[in-house]
């Protein structure tokens, strides 16, 4: 009797684990396919002035919305704002595309997903969060040329 119960438990556990793995794979596959169907944009800003684009802070929790917007409003007004401890120092890559999943009700924030490949030694990264909508652009920022006039001769 105990041997039969043990076999049933092992069999049931194996089937559950297999279904869990297959289900997780399918959910991940279809989620990523859906993300890649969304509009592709680039996330960077020139708010601080100058011609060098900078990466944009991202928040994962909409509870930080007002603090986050306050930070960017102060930047836009020319002030160098204090970055509150509530905002984690997490950024979106400026030269890699982000997929826009949607906007907040007031359209001030956009929910984005980034797949960032850091090369064969470090692998890829997945970031999802909310960014200031004004920092989204259709094209990547221009890259500065590293050649000098002496290099061209």
Span 63-99, pLDDT tens digits? 999 999 999 899 888 888 888 787 887 888 888 899 9
Minimum mean pLDDT range among 39-43, 101-105, 135-139, 142-146: 142-146
50/13 same-domain check: no
Tell whether 128 is covered by a domain: yes
Strand, coil or helix: what is 55? coil
In a domain, 59, yes or no: yes
Query: Do 28 and 76 belong together in one domain?
Result: no
Tell whether 15 is covered by a domain. Answer: yes
Tell me the residue range of the domain where 112 lies. Answer: 40-137
Query: What mean pLDDT is predicted for residues 96-115?
Result: 94
* Cβ atoms of 58 and 90 closer than 8 Å: yes
Looking at the structure, do residues 27 and 61 belong to the same domain, yes or no?
no
Contact between 76 and 49 under an 8 Å Cβ cutoff? The reply is: no
- How many folded domains does the chain comprise? 2
Q: Are residues 74 and 32 in the same domain?
A: no
Q: Max CA-CA distance within the chain?
A: 88
Q: What's the predicted TM-score (pTM) here?
A: 0.74
């Amino acid at each position: 009797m105990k041997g039969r119960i043990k076999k049933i438990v092992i069999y049931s556990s194996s089937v559950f684990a297999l279904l869990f793995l297959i289900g997780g794979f399918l959910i991940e596959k279809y989620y990523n396919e859906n993300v890649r169907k969304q509009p592709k944009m680039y996330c960077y800003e020139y708010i601080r002035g100058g011609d060098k684009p900078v990466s944009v802070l991202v928040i994962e929790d909409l509870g930080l919305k007002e603090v986050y917007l306050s930070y960017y409003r102060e930047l836009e007004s020319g002030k160098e704002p204090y970055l509150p401890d509530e905002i984690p120092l997490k950024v979106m890559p400026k030269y890699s595309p982000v997929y826009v999943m949607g906007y907040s009700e007031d359209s001030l924030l956009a929910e984005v997903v980034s797949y960032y490949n850091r090369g064969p030694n470090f692998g890829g990264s997945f970031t999802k969060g909310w960014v200031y909508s004004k920092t989204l652009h259709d094209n990547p920022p221009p890259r500065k040329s590293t050649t000098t006039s002496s290099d061209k001769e």
